[in-house]
Every structure is written in C-alpha cells, then in structure tokens.
C-alpha cells in the first residue's frame, strides 16, 4: 500500500504537484494518468525519496522511503530506462544493484530469465534497443522481489509485442497480491491494463475511481444508421418511441444498444439501410474532456489536440 497525503512540490513559481492525496492498493493495477507535464514523474520521484516534497507525505507500507531498510525489497521502480551505466553488461548492472541491497546473486539470474534477457546478459547495455532497455529496467525493479512496483510510462516507444508483454507482466504482478502503480498519458493503454485510475492535471487530483466506474460513466454506446430514407425512418422510430438524432453526413444516431430493434423496424417498413452499427464513445475522448482545462501545451491550429504530446 502506498499512501500519499497532501503531497506538494513547488519548483520556483511552478507548482508541479498540488496537495495530492490518494492511496494505491495491493492486488490491483492502479493507472496514474495525466497529460504531459501533469506532475506524474515528480510525484513518483517523491514517492521514491528522489525528490523532497515542499509539503505533504508519502508512506510505503506505513513508512517513509528513507526509513525503509533495503528499500529494493519493499518497492521496485522503473523511472528512466536510460538510467543504466552503458558500459556495464545487463548482468553486471543487476549484480551491482543486488550487492548494494543485500540481494543474492541467484536472484539476478532469475530476473534476467523473467524478463527474457538471459541470452544477452553479458552484452553491454549501451548496445540495447529501447525494448531491451525497458526489460533491463524492469528486471532491476523486480530484483528485490518487492511487494510494491512502480513503472513510469513503461510502454513508451515499445513495439506491440513489448507492450503486450509489459501489460501481462503488470497484471500478473497484481494477481500475486502486489501493489502495481503505473503512469501513462494514454487512456486507451490504461483501459487495457488498469483496475483503478488516479487522474491528475496540473498537479491536482481530477479523479480517483475504479476503471469499471470510469468506463460506465464515460463510454456511452449508441447506434449509427445510414439510410437513403432518413425522414421515413425518423417517423418509424418516433412512433416506436425511439429517439434518433441527425448526426451530419446523412447519418442518424440512436443512444443505447438498440441496433436489433431498429433493424427489425426498418425491415417491417421496407426501409433500406446502408449502415446499422453499434458504436462506443472513446474513453480517450472522455479522458481528454476530464483534463481539458489542465493541458499545459495545446497543439496549434483549429482542431482540438488528438494527443497530449508537447509541441
Ligand atoms: N526540476 C524541475 N525544475 C523545474 N520544473 C520542473 C522540474 N521537474 C518538473 N518540472 C515541471 O513540473 C511539471 C510536472 O512535470 P512532470 O515531469 O512531473 O510531469 P509528467 O506528468 O511526468 O509529464 P510527462 O508525461 O511529460 O513526463 C512540469 O511543468 C515540469 O516542467
């Protein structure tokens, strides 16, 4: 369990983290979401004792990070996959970490195997691809067999196979009863991995909710219809008590999952349909609405940003 209480970080005039209070519970994957610059990395750095809070407190299983003996055995983290000495081999990098944390050498072999790096364990880390670097960073996080794991944007830049692997790894770590806290700026990614969401924007807490609740409240389903006889269909639907809206481009939309009923009514009245498709509003859109007021850097131009990358 991680408990964050009134956590605040100020860099000069910039309030990077603003009185955050939330808990990260064991046995589930908790997604930590927010646009670029929201304060996710700063929060994680404070959780790990790498940055000193301006105010507030973080407790790891009831204790401050600096009071943990052999902290790698309590909490493992992947913050920056490039934070590895490039001249060292994967094996030596992990061995150094293990030796300075009272972890046996046998564990190095175990984690190399777990992340699939055994075959390249003696190669220098500077020759590693991005995906291999992420795997090595994750091996370091797993080294102390900690009950709590923290990953900052672990899928950034990975190929689909790597993304799939990390997703499954996080889920299996949570299924073992561990606390798993993972940051991302992509809702679509979190929707596939996280059971719980903590959303921040400009350092402030915007939502602390289960994934299921977030989906239920934000992913509304509707049916899209295209027909060369929209007036007739509107009349028929109206008679049947089904409310339809014109959605532009010659399409109609009906809230909810009534596709079968609409198809039956159209057939009964011999109305031609060119499209009858159930649709789901995207969670990414809901997430962008939630954080709209707190995006630090908007894309230039007339249309709203499609992603949250700076510049
Ligand atoms: N050392 C620092 N000095 C000054 N400002 C900083 C420092 N570190 C972070 N910031 C600022 O604090 C804010 C939060 O940054 P942070 O990196 O924590 O956000 P983030 O949510 O992790 O974003 P990203 O997804 O882009 O990494 C940003 O406005 C950033 O510019």
Q: How confident is the model at residue 81 (pLDDT cuts 50, 70, 90)?
A: low
- For the stretch 128-173, pLDDT in tens is 888 888 899 999 999 999 999 999 999 887 888 889 999 999 999 9
List the residue whose alpha carbon is closest to atom 23 of ligand 1. 37
Query: With contact defined as beta carbons under 8 Å apart, do 195 and 45 qualify?
Result: no
Q: Answer with the residue of higher pLDDT: 14 or 156.
A: 14
The pLDDT of residue 307 is above 70? no
Instruction: Please count the other Cβ atoms lying within 10 Å of the Cβ belonging to residue 42.
Output: 20
Query: With contact defined as beta carbons under 8 Å apart, do 169 and 138 qualify?
Result: yes
* C-alpha of residue 11 to centroid of ligand 1, in Å: 9
Helix (H) or strand (E) holding 201: strand 196-201
What is the arithmetic mean of pLDDT over 78-96?
A: 81
What is the arithmetic mean of pLDDT over 220-226?
A: 90
Burial 225-238 (b: 16+ CB within 10 A, else e): bbbeebeebbebbe
Q: Answer with the residue of higher pLDDT: 305 or 163.
A: 163
Among 11, 31, 198, say which to mutate for ligand 1: greatest number of ligand atoms within 8 Å of CB.
Answer: 11
Helix (H) or strand (E) holding 199: strand 196-201
What is the arithmetic mean of pLDDT over 194-206?
A: 94
* C-alpha of residue 41 to centroid of ligand 1, in Å: 7
Pocket of ligand 1 (CB under 6 A): 11, 14, 16, 34, 36-42, 185, 296
What is the arithmetic mean of pLDDT over 54-59?
A: 96
Helix (H) or strand (E) holding 223: strand 221-226
* C-alpha of residue 224 to centroid of ligand 1, in Å: 41
pLDDT of the residue at 80:
74
- For the stretch 244-271, pLDDT in tens is 989 887 899 998 878 999 999 999 999 9
The pLDDT of residue 299 is above 60? no
> What ipTM describes this predicted complex?
0.94
List the residue whose alpha carbon is closest to atom 10 of ligand 1. 16
């Amino acid at each position: 369990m991680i408990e964050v209480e009134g956590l605040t970080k100020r860099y000069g005039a910039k309030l990077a983290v603003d009185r955050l209070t939330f808990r990260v519970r064991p046995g589930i994957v908790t997604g930590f979401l927010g646009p670029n610059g929201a304060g996710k990395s700063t929060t994680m750095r404070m959780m790990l004792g790498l940055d000193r809070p301006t105010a507030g407190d973080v407790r790891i299983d009831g204790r401050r990070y600096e009071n943990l003996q052999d902290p790698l055995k309590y909490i493992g983290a992947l913050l920056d996959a490039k934070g590895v000495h490039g001249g060292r081999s994967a094996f030596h990098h992990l061995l150094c970490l293990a030796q300075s944390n009272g972890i046996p050498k046998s564990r190095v072999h175990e984690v190399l195997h777990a992340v699939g790096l055994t075959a390249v364990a003696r190669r220098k880390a500077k020759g590693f691809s991005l995906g291999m670097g992420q795997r090595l960073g994750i091996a370091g996080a797993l080294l102390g067999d900690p009950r709590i794991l923290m990953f900052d944007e672990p899928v950034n830049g990975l190929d689909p196979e790597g993304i799939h692997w990390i997703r499954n790894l996080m889920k299996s770590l949570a299924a073992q009863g561990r606390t798993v806290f993972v940051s991302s700026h992509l809702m679509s990614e979190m929707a596939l991995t996280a059971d719980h969401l903590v959303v921040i924007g400009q350092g402030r807490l915007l939502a602390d909710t289960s994934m299921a609740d977030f989906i239920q409240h934000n992913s509304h389903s509707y049916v899209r219809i295209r027909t060369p006889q929209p007036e007739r269909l509107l009349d028929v639907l109206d008679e049947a008590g089904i409310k339809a809206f014109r959605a532009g481009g010659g399409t109609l939309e009906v809230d909810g999952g009534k596709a079968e009923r609409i198809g039956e009514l159209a057939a009964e009245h011999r109305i031609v349909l060119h499209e009858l498709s159930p649709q789901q509003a995207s969670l990414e859109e809901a997430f962008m609405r939630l954080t709209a007021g707190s995006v630090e850097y908007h894309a230039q131009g007339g249309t709203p940003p499609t992603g949250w990358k700076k510049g």
